[in-house]
Structure 1
Amino acid sequence: MAIMGSRKHLKRFKAPKHWPIHPKENKWTTKPNAGPHAIEGSLPLLLIVRDILGVADNAREAKRIINNGEILVDGRARKDYKFPVGFMDVIEIPKSEKVYRVLPDEKGRLTLHSIVAENKDFKLCKITEKTTISGGKTQLNLHDGRNHIVDNGYKVGDVVILKVPEQEITDSIDFVKGNIGLITGGKHTGEIGRIKEINITKSSMPNTVEMETEDKKTFLTLKDYVFVIGKEEPAIALPGGK
């Protein structure tokens, strides 16, 4: 039993800090399956249905709702209660006509931000890596585990606007000075700013970015922590109406 428990479940005190559970309530919690997001940057679907959205009172009811296909992730019904949901994913409950986008708060916790139905059909995906494949095509590896074959013209750090569930790239946002970025790591997690300067080092030190907030305050963060979300205006709705 101990072996099966360790495979299917996760001890609560070992769960990521951003999970909305109390470490002392029970010994075990749901362990996400392998999927598009790593465990450190995701929430199992059951926790979202039961603990965040509160549409189920217990795990059994949450599993029934999920198994019935009542919860959509990026436009597709996900019937695995351990499916890992992560940053920028779109959660939809057709029965209640409610839609949410997964975003980080200022403490680095993943939260569900309510959005209007018109915004449910797209998501932003950051290019984390790209490689050249046979035929001269380029493969983009995106932050949510997706891979896309495209013509050249994209670079690592850019963000593509992806139509879901079709998974078609409809536009992109370049990682360049002047564009708007959401900080996804470090002490400035959750903050929004405009890219003021990109500092590329020629050593083993990480590249950094100087950001400027709406009230003209500046701060420095790692380049990898900046997720561009718009040019003149953010392409997505943000908490607090930003």
Structure 2
Amino acid sequence: MSNHQKRLSVPKSWPVERKTDVFTVKAGAGPHGKDGVPLVILLRDVLGYVDSKKEARYALSQDAILVNGDPINDEARPIGMFDIVAFREREEYYRVFPDEGGRLALTEIDADAAESRLGKIEGKQQVPGGDTQLTLHDGTNVTADEEGYSTNDSIVVDNESKEIVAHFPYEEGALVTAVRGNHGGNIGELVDIDVTPGSGSNIVTVETDDGEFETVEEYVVVIDENFTGDGE
């Protein structure tokens, strides 16, 4: 199987130029599915910290780069929405956050904010012992020892303990960001949830400083002010 990915066919969320070269790096197996951006692209094309995959492999071998609190040694490891990328020696910390148009970008944060990450709940099920298992937007699972969580809610997970430290319900009045579609990157208050009968997507209305926009429910994520960059 090829280790290359044609630039013209990469997901719109990838922060790469599509008309410079024919190929770029292919993401490895891991979280975020097809939307995950290989770590080496962030290191090379976004931050400019390395010039090649070889340099990326050396940097990763030093355990100096953490993703969600864990050292990473695979330059193709997929990185996606709300991941925390930390450079311990540089004392630099970034959150992957959707930019205008839904393109993934790195937002610099402080060390305290880098200790946890946001996750959108996309599934839940009971597991033996009576606990609830929550499946997040990136495919990871988190165990909750209490009820009250629903799909489309957001939680904050501590990177060290992997425990839930905050919960933001999906409801009218919540602060949300659009992560896909024409309004990707916009932040505002969720003012209306229009439930669509049948299997169609619910339509939501979001009020921003510049007006309102509508999008499908799947394209918005509940956030906290600390995740906009204004509270850090």
TM-score (norm 1): 0.88
CA distance in structure 1 between the aligned counterparts of 2:173 and 2:116, rounded to whole angstroms: 23
Alignment deviations for residues 69-96 of structure 1 (CA, whole Å, 9 cap, x no partner):
2211011110100100000000111111
Question: Root-mean-square deviation (CA), in Å?
Answer: 2.0
Give the residue type in structure 1 aligned to 2:226.
A
The residue aligned with 1:126 is: 120
CA distance in structure 2 between the aligned counterparts of 1:156 and 1:179, rounded to whole angstroms: 14
Which of 169, 175, 197 aligns to 1:202? It is 197
Aligned pair in 2 of structure 1 residues 124, 20: CA closer, same or farther (>3 Å)?
Answer: closer
Give the residue type in structure 2 aligned to 1:187.
N
Long gaps (5+) in structure 2: none
Which of 102, 108, 127 aligns to 1:108? It is 102
Alignment deviations for residues 163-218 of structure 1 (CA, whole Å, 9 cap, x no partner):
11321101100001111001111111110010111111223331111111135x22
Which of 218, 223, 229 aligns to 1:229? It is 223
Cα shift at 1:132? 2.4
CA distance in structure 1 between the aligned counterparts of 2:218 and 2:22, rounded to whole angstroms: 35
Structure number, greater radius of gyration:
1
Identity of aligned residues (%): 37
1:195–1:210 CA contact under 8 A, matched in 2: yes
Cα shift at 1:12? 2.9
How many pairs are equivalent?
231
CA distance in structure 1 between the aligned counterparts of 2:17 and 2:133, rounded to whole angstroms: 41
2:102–2:178 CA contact under 8 A, matched in 1: no
Residue 175, structure 1, aligned to residue 170, structure 2: yes
Which of 57, 61, 81 aligns to 1:63? It is 57
Aligned pair in 2 of structure 1 residues 66, 54: CA closer, same or farther (>3 Å)?
Answer: same
Residue 81, structure 1, aligned to residue 72, structure 2: no
Alignment deviations for residues 8-53 of structure 1 (CA, whole Å, 9 cap, x no partner):
22233332334343445444322111111112x2210111111111
CA distance in structure 2 between the aligned counterparts of 1:17 and 1:184, rounded to whole angstroms: 11
